[in-house]
Chains A and B, each alone.
Chain A
Amino acid sequence: EDKVVQSPLSLVVHEGDTVTLNCSYEVTNFRSLLWYKQEKKAPTFLFMLTSSGIEKKSGRLSSILDKKELSSILNITATQTGDSAIYLCAVGDSGYALNFGKGTSLLVTP
């Protein structure tokens, strides 16, 4: 049973569309939820959400943590082809390593 579930697993949109990626989790002693973007090789950090910081925004990207629903969303507005990537969600709990979901593969077509 996966601790972190992302949906959808893949998504194709047109440039300019707005997309919402979902991440739900089931862990004990939640500490943090992180979003990463992976284009070809190394994942790059986007946001970290905690109980004291449930909403983050950077340019066209924003993310919200819903601790009641045990989930988070990542919104991308006015998508560009450069947004095409795998988006990874990871959750930190009482363990010593983050728990990753399977990722959402986003393709933005011109």
Chain B
Amino acid sequence: DGGITQSPKYLFRKEGQNVTLSCEQNLNHDAMYWYRQDPGQGLRLIYYSQIVNDFQKGDIAEGYSVSREKKESFPLTVTSAQKNPTAFYLCASSMASGFGELFFGEGSRLTVL
């Protein structure tokens, strides 16, 4: 079945450690996105990519990094520079960037101890 797979589902990190969240899609979508969700905050855009080897910062990119070496994959690294990384992270993809339906992964919940 086509879809988006995020891993791990749950992750615990010590302060000062970098962690990488995986996102893989087999929908043949060009556009991919990373969102952060905190209680009562909706979804806030971290990074997005419209095509392989290209990505742009979203509204809250500080302390995060991404890569897009393959169409199917868009991993997110939460660096030690991110001051408050405990959150729920959602990866999404779409055929048309900016206005069409987003397809979401199941999310990754990161907790910093």
For the A-B complex, the count of residue pairs with Cβ-Cβ distances under 8 Å equals 62
Q: How far is the CA of A70 from the CA of B40 in the complex (A)?
A: 23
Residue of B nearest to A105 (CB): B40
With CB as the reference atom, state the residue of chain A lying closest to B45: A97
Q: In the docked arrangement, what's the CA distance between A48 and B94, Å?
A: 13
Q: A41 contacts B98, CB within 8 Å?
A: no
Q: Is the CB of A48 within 8 A of B101?
A: yes
**Chain A residues whose C-beta falls within 8 Å of the C-beta of B90 in the assembled complex:** 42-43
State A107–B14 Cα separation when bound (angstroms).
Answer: 35
Whether A92 lies near B33 (C-beta < 8 A) is no
CA distance A97 to B43 in the complex (A): 11
Residue B48 interfacial (CB < 8 Å): yes
Q: Is B104 an interface residue (CB 8 A)?
A: yes
Q: Given the interface contacts A42-B104, A42-B105, does A97 sit within 8 Å of B98 by beta carbon? A: yes
Q: 1/0 per residue B82-113: CB within 8 Å of A? A: 00000000100000011111111111000000
Given the contacts A42-B90, A43-B104, A94 and B43 also touching, CB distance less than 8 Å:
no
Category for how many chain B residues contact A: 20 to 34
Judge whether A96 and B101 touch: CB under 8 Å: no
- Interface pair A31/B99, CB less than 8 Å apart: yes
**Does A74 lie at the interface of the complex (its beta carbon under 8 Å from any beta carbon of B)?**
no
Q: Mark B45-62, 1 if CB is under 8 A from A, else 0.
A: 100101000001010000
Asked if A93 and B106 make an inter-chain contact with CB atoms under 8 angstroms apart, the answer reads: no
> Is the CB–CB distance between A97 and B42 below 8 Å?
no
Q: Does B41 contact A (CB under 8 A)?
A: yes
Q: List 26 A–B pairs whose Cβ atoms lie within 8 Å, in order of A's numbering.
A: A6-B42, A34-B102, A36-B102, A41-B106, A42-B106, A42-B107, A43-B90, A44-B104, A45-B103, A48-B101, A88-B42, A88-B43, A92-B99, A92-B100, A93-B99, A94-B98, A96-B31, A96-B56, A97-B33, A97-B48, A97-B97, A97-B98, A98-B99, A98-B102, A100-B43, A103-B42
